[in-house]
Structure 1
Amino acid sequence: MVRLNSKDLLEIGLHIAEEVSFYVKKLLSDKVQLHTHFDRVNSCGDKITLFDEKVNQRIIDIFKSTTKIHPLLIISEETGVEFMGSGCPEYFLILDPVDGSNNIRSFFTPAPNITMSLAIGYVSDLYEKLMADAITISLHKEIFRKWVFYGISGEGAYFSDGYSTIPIKVSPVRTLEEKCIIGIDLDNISEISQPLYSLISSHIIQRRLGSSHLDLCQVACGQYDAYISDSGRLKVTDVCQSYHLVKEAGGIYAFQILNKGKAAPEYSADFLTRIVNDHSLLKDLRFKVIAAGTHELFEKISV
């Protein structure tokens, strides 16, 4: 079988994105209570919503029928590590089916900030390149809009509104004095460090959309100058896709890995292959992230 190239992989990703949007809108038209929470948790240790479960299963079903990308290794936030097709996997998929599910309310709102995010690459690259650099394409789809952000390794980052596609670049802002717009994630933080408190108390403009993927898309397209998540709550499936997109847009993206809450730099180079061999790491590994458009701004906001 001929190996799929980056264009082929992107077409698969875009097809999945459109199918997911259509599927979710149908669920809502059928008045399915997507905000319903279950008592059980997913592979990353988070409580599952009906939204997460249904979208993840729909995506898995589509990949099962897309045999041209088999055999496939899947790392999903919801269902963990699994293999599809026979033989040694040639491609890998990193999947966050629903990011921002807390934005789904128990009552109607017209366009909640919900993102489906995936990354696809070649398994051989997982063992030859550093962590997320093995990704060939990354894609973030706003489920309730036509907007898609995607990156192609070595070819840059792009935005599509459903009608036209344009290349995107990160912000050129270098200092905090330039009406700096920063996305700041403080979820689940019990104590704010003094450097971060000083940053928040300065004259920056703060933003937060309730979806870390979507926030980091704003860095990639220059709408945000930077983004900080200091909570140590982001998961592997939150980090890899956005890392690839921001880097392809010309930005700086750094992370600190935590294993059960403690700094674990020994995982930095090969955390993806370690997860394949030890599935429990999907639950144990967490990340703090700082992303910025320029090195100068990155240095100023590093906390």
Structure 2
Amino acid sequence: MDYELLCTQVLGIVRLTGNFIRKESMSFDSSKVEFKGLNDLVSYVDKQAERILVDNLSELLPESGFITEEQTINKQGEVYNWIIDPLDGTTNFIHGIPTYSVSVALYANDEPVIGVVYEINRGEMFYAYKGGAAYLNNKVIQVSTRTAVADTLLATGFPYYDFEKQAQYMALFTELMRSCHGLRRIGSAAVDLAYVACGRFDAFFEYNLNAWDVAAGAFIIQQAGGKVMNFSGGAEFIETRELLATNSRIDAELLGFIRNHFKA
């Protein structure tokens, strides 16, 4: 499989989807919002964007399966499976906050081979493919080179429906606020991960994320020289729904902070 060529084709599909989302944002009617669960919002834009992705990606690899947030399709591929978030940052989109993205990953035999995150309003296309580097709009990107948490800018996400670990999380925030340049919460995990890949953030951590939130961004970080792990330092960040992504230079120090509050 020529993953570079396939990735180029995926970029066109993702850009098409992003153009649809951008157009709809100009006249979006918030009364059309639906609730999947507590603070878990969805709109016709999410659903239609997913249909665009599924229909076009299916043409690229007819034998492929899909893992999708809005469950447009239920199909498991023997080798290839797409992991899709058609609109990561739906709450931002609904409220008119201009940070949201399209996230698409391709797995082959349970290993990532393509990752694409398109930050729509800035027109920034982050991507990587097996055998290549990581890119932002055709330019090679790499993670930051900072070696101490004290010198870093970190990103995270806040609990919004599962508050079981809220106390531990807030205690961790308090400690990190005193130990780094700052904490940011953008509202799109895919964008957070892309920003780690290009060195804007030095690390990102969050729990209760789904595969479609992180699969593409995590692969881009790895191809950019970073590391992705769970809160115990293991590789099973999708299975455990705990994710720490770093520039590979501060992971040990950050794991120390996390372990103070989240016991393995």
TM-score bracket, normalised by the shorter chain, equals 0.7 to 0.9
Unaligned runs of 5+ in 2: 259-264
Does 2:50 match 1:56?
yes
* Alignment counterpart, residue 18 of structure 1, candidates 15, 30, 48: 15
Shift of 1:145: 2.9
Matched positions, count: 249
Shift of 1:195: 4.7
1:91 paired residue number = 80
Q: Which residue of 2 aligns with 1:299?
A: 252
* Contact preservation (8 Å) 2:51, 2:72: no
Cross-structure match for 1:104: 93
Q: Which residue of 1 aligns with 2:241?
A: 287
Following superposition, the deviation at residue 90 of structure 1 comes to: 4.6
8 Å contact from structure 2 (residues 205, 243) kept in 1: yes
CA distance in 2: counterparts of 1:253 and 1:35, whole angstroms: 38
Q: 1:142 to 1:35 in 2, by over 3 A?
A: farther
Greater strand share, structure number: 1
Matched, 1:76 2:68: yes
Question: What does 1:180-259 align with in structure 2 at a 5 Å threshold?
Answer: 180-188=152-160, 189=163, 190-192=166-168, 194-229=171-206, 232-256=207-231
Q: Is the Cα–Cα contact under 8 Å of residues 196 and 202 in structure 2 kept in the other structure?
A: yes
Task: Give the alignment's Cα RMSD to 1 decimal.
Answer: 2.7
Deviations 1:19-67 (A, max 9, x none): 11221233345x24267322446xxx94432221121122223234x2x
Aligned to 1:117: 103
* Secondary structure in structure 1 of the residue aligned to 2:216: helix
Corresponding position of 1:155: 132
TM-score (norm 2): 0.83
Partner of 2:261: none
Aligned AA (2:16): E
Q: TM-score normalised to the size of structure 1?
A: 0.73
Runs of 4+ in 1 over 6 A off after TM superposition: none
Q: Secondary structure at the match of 1:82?
A: coil
1:157-205 deviations in Å (ceiling 9; x for gaps): 1100xxxx21101011111232x11112232352135455312233432
Question: Counterpart of 1:33?
Answer: 29
2:6 maps to: 9
Change (3 A) 1:7 1:202: closer
Q: Is the 8 A contact 2:158 2:185 kept in 1?
A: no
Offset at 1:69? Answer: 1.4
Gap regions ≥5 residues in structure 1: 127-133, 258-264, 272-284
- Percent sequence identity over matched residues? 21
Q: Report if aligned partners of 1:71, 1:83 keep a CA contact under 8 Å in 2.
A: no
CA contact (8 A) 2:66 2:81 kept: yes
Distance 1:203 1:47, change over 3 A: closer
